[in-house]
Structure 1
Amino acid sequence: MHDTTPLSGRLRLIATVATFGGLLFGYDTGVINGALPSLVSDLRLTPFLEGLVASILPFGAAWGAPFGGRLADGLGRRRVLMVLAVVFVVATIGCATAPAVGVLIAFRAVLGLAVGASSVIVPVFLAELAPAHLRGRVVAQNELMIVGGQALAFVFNAGLATALGHLPHVWRYMLVLATLPALALWVGMIAVPESPRWLARNGRFEDMTRVLRRIREEAYTPREAETVRELAAQDAERPAASVLDLVRIPWIRRIFGIGAGMAVINQISGINAIQYYGVTVLQDAGFGGNGAFYANIIPGLVGVAAVGLAMVLLKHVGRRPLLLTGLAGTIASLTAFALCYLLIPGESAARPWAVLACIVVFVGFEQCCVGTVTWLYMSEIFPLSVRGVGMGACAWLLWMMTFVVGLTFPLLTDALGVGYTVLTFVALQVAALVWVHRAAPETKDRTLEELEEHFRAA
């Protein structure tokens, strides 16, 4: 019989504050979508520099992810998130006031470091705070904030393009708005407690018990505290984890293989090509004027609704069936997307709306079933002793895949056309479906400690 204790009000508040990091993640990755047209014109960017500006953030994120994971293991999840909030503010202001493209690229790279670090720390922090039966819902809240941040970026981009589109530097206004959630993250984290599992790992058992009592409220049980304490005591006797531990120890190597696979399939659908170049794709499909900006809002809002649906489904449906369903849906919708480009004449009035419909369905399946579940998998499968370094390594791989997709998408579409480029993503999704069916275990309703014992015994 599964525990049905509801989420406490205090834990709900803590999760909301912590996921402002996810909101920043989403806004900073989505805002470039609408900022690029005016940015290219204002700074007279070549196609190569345009691609570099768009993709340098995930490149920075790839290095911020493992670095952030190690910092969070050493200094604590809460403290590092507060530092990252300051980095977000400084780097955002630097991007918005950049006098030249070189300065913009440099600050976008720094912003990427903060995005990558938060992409690792926030899911791990939430997974360590939540009880087992609510972990999926709590960690999925971060994905909701990510797509919410992207949707906000699309809405603000459309509004600013309409109101200030005559100004060559309208992109600066689009970028600077990210300072507001960064300030909210810093202020909110002042009142957020440290992860009880990190406290236990560092021998602070009284603080761990106090935090568990505080965030569980009436649902607190001494048994959970004792379990966390026992495993933390065992981990404390082991040497500090390194990247080599992920491949040297057989049972951890198996976990790392699963986490790395999840990182790859998160990106090989091409979801971030849509997030970065959605306005450009919709303009190419046939939307004129500011129509592409407003059409781009629709998949952004669908993404938010899809993650909201995922938060409900994760209470009742296992990770594996949800992921398999999502991959089947992305394969079908991407195939339809490619056929729209290949079979519908460019001058047809139906073409832009058919393409938009395919993008909407694709984003719905991707955000509900694939993006949400892959981040959840990565946050919960690693044992405490290597959780930070393991999540960091997987996030590094995920962000490098994002960088590759973002940098090569314009080159591929130029060489192959949008239709055949999308068919390439379809083939990769088919491979991902086969891999998940063969390799991905079920993790629903199992505590982090039970998962560790399962992988040790396998």
Structure 2
Amino acid sequence: MSEGSSARRRFVYVASGISALGGLLFGYDTGVISGALLFLKKDLGIQHDAFMQGLVTSAILIGAMIGALVCGSLADRLGRRRLTLLAGVVFGIGAIGAAASPDVAVLVLFRIVLGIGVGLASVIVPMYIAEISPAEVRGRLTSLNQLMITLGILVAYIVDYLLAPYAAWRWMFGLAVIPAAALFVGMYFMPETPRWLVGHGRLDVARQVLGRTRGEERIEEEIEGIQEAERRAREQAGWGELVKAWIRPALIVGLGLAILQQFVGINTIIYYAPTTLTKLGLGDSASILAQVGIGVVNVLFTFVAIRTLDTIGRKRLLLAGSVGMTASLAVLGFLTLAVGIKGGAIGIITIICLAVYIASFAATWGPTVWVMLPEIYPLRVRGPAEGLATWGNWASNFLVSLTFPSMLAGLGQGFSMLLFAGMGVVSFLFVLALVPETRGKTLEEIEEELNVEVDKAG
């Protein structure tokens, strides 16, 4: 029994790890632009066009909104496995197309294609892992997706650094075809999830998959549990329920968290840190190397979040993160205005402030928002409510990413950083006034507290 249990555990880890390559691609394709932009803007003639630089960077988010919006219905129709295979194909086509782009219009088009892959992966990867995993390891394996996203960003930074001496931005994009192919080949040999199989009446195949992941003694119990979950899911309300007053408090908190997660400026660092650092007088390779260090901090402090979410609590983490992000950006903004934009010392201080900012975000707002969203929404409207919050997150990401180059050109680094520091203050006040602590509470207790907190604030 012990050997069989070990084999089943290994199979679940392998299936989850292969699926999580979608998270790696998510991180890589969103992070690689930070270094590639330094070189492609010269080759494609947009080095003096801040809006086009923002469009090339943010085009991936247009696709992500599309991919996330259609993923739910496609996952139900095609299945989790086949949709993950499709995501691998989309990632591969996007990578090759971006690498071969002859002009900026084609590059924007294929960045949108890559974004569709990102949007699909953002939904289907955690869904597949959650449904293929036994309950006792589900939380740990689902968090693997967030870890792989941060690893993908770090890998992108490393690739950017290694290829920077050759200005090889096409290779920076094109190398993503390797993990895309690995995702497709790996998922080809993986099973469909039991949840989808049961929902489509394929009980015999579902039992076979459960036998590989749960053990014979738990198969019928799991089948019954899935059938009960399917029955409850059919009772869930649609999008029209979201306009009703009873769900408004949870929507305010959920949308606020999702939007503020982007308005505090995280993706100005993920996408534009090397561009910002070159304005301080650092060379291209040195700027990208500093970004690699920031990527390492991002990965390490994601582990901090995983370990502290269930001990410190969600609200305290969010408040602490807001303080850390606001302080680091305020120091950077005021120092830049006082000392000036260039020079070795200000460059080092900028890197330190950016690292503190990333650490504050990665340990708090990064993962905590995604943990809280399903907690604050009642089961009856959880699907559409989470979909709305996710769309709001992508839309906010797009807005910030599109406008930041123009903001940087018009306001300068100092005022731009102070603007995002101000959003950090807003995030602190929002959490303090409206966001309940959800750790260790039932959904009913959370719903009741949400109503009380919003009534007080109103």
Percent identity of the aligned residues? 38
Decide which of 98, 102, 105 is 1:99's aligned counterpart: 102
Counterpart Cα distance in 2 of 1:126 and 1:443: 23
Evaluate the alpha carbon distance shift between residue 54 and residue 289 of structure 1 in structure 2; reply closer, same or farther with a 3 A threshold.
Answer: closer
Q: Give the count of matched residue pairs.
A: 443
Post-superposition offset of 1:80: 1.3
Counterpart of 1:67? 70
TM-score, with structure 2 as normaliser = 0.86
Gaps of 5+ in 2: 452-458
Query: How has the CA–CA distance of structure 1 residues 413 and 18 changed in structure 2, closer, same or farther, with 3 Å as cutoff?
Result: same
Kept after mapping to 1: 8 A contact 2:264/2:427:
no
Q: 1:348 to 1:36 in 2, by over 3 A?
A: closer
**Which residue is 1:304 aligned to?**
299
User: Which of 185, 188, 198 is matched with 1:187 structurally?
Assistant: 185
Distance 1:357 1:280 in 2: 16
- Residues 180-205 of structure 1: per-residue CA shift (max 9 Å, x gap): 11111112222434344444555556
Equivalent residue for 2:408?
Answer: 413
- Tell whether 2:430 aligns with 1:435: yes
For the Cα contact (< 8 Å) 2:35–2:157, is it kept in 1? Answer: yes
**How far 1:416 sits from its partner (Å)?**
1.8
TM-score (norm: length of structure 1): 0.86
Q: Which amino acid aligns with 1:180?
A: I
Q: Cα gap change, 1:256/1:210 in structure 2, threshold over 3 Å: closer, same or farther?
A: farther
Are 2:338 and 1:343 aligned?
yes
- Describe how 1:26-425 pairs up with structure 2 within 5 A: 26-45=27-46, 46-130=49-133, 134-162=137-165, 164-165=166-167, 170-202=168-200, 211-212=209-210, 214-217=212-215, 226-236=224-234, 238=235, 242-248=238-244, 250-251=246-247, 253-314=248-309, 316-378=311-373, 388-425=383-420
Identify if the C-alpha distance between structure 1 residues 84 and 338 changes in structure 2 by more than 3 Å, giving closer, same or farther: same
Shift in Å, 1:335: 1.7
Q: Is the 8 A contact 1:61 1:115 kept in 2?
A: yes
CA contact (8 A) 2:126 2:145 kept: yes
Structure 1's unaligned 5+ residue stretches are: none
Q: CA RMSD in A?
A: 3.1
Instruction: Please say if residues 76 and 198 of structure 1, whose CA atoms lie closer than 8 Å, have aligned partners that are also in contact.
Output: yes
Alignment partners' CA distance in 2, 1:319 and 1:127:
21
Report how far residue 323 of structure 1 moved.
Answer: 2.5
| Distance apart, 1:379 and its partner CA | 5.2
Is contact 2:134–2:213 with CA below 8 Å preserved after alignment? no
Alignment CA distance shift 1:102-1:242 (3 Å): farther
Q: Distance between the aligned counterparts of 2:154 and 2:193, measured in 1?
A: 30
One-letter amino acid matched to 2:116: L
Q: Is the 8 A contact 1:116 1:395 kept in 2?
A: no
Amino acid at match of 2:53: E
Contact persistence 2:378–2:447 (CA under 8 A) = no
Does the Cα contact within 8 Å between 1:68 and 1:392 map onto a contact in 2? Answer: no
Equivalents in 1 of 2:334, 2:270: separation in Å? 21
Q: Which protein, 1 or 2, shows the higher relative CO under an 8 Å CA cutoff with sep ≥ 6?
A: 1
2:325 touches 2:357 (CA, 8 Å); kept in 1?
yes
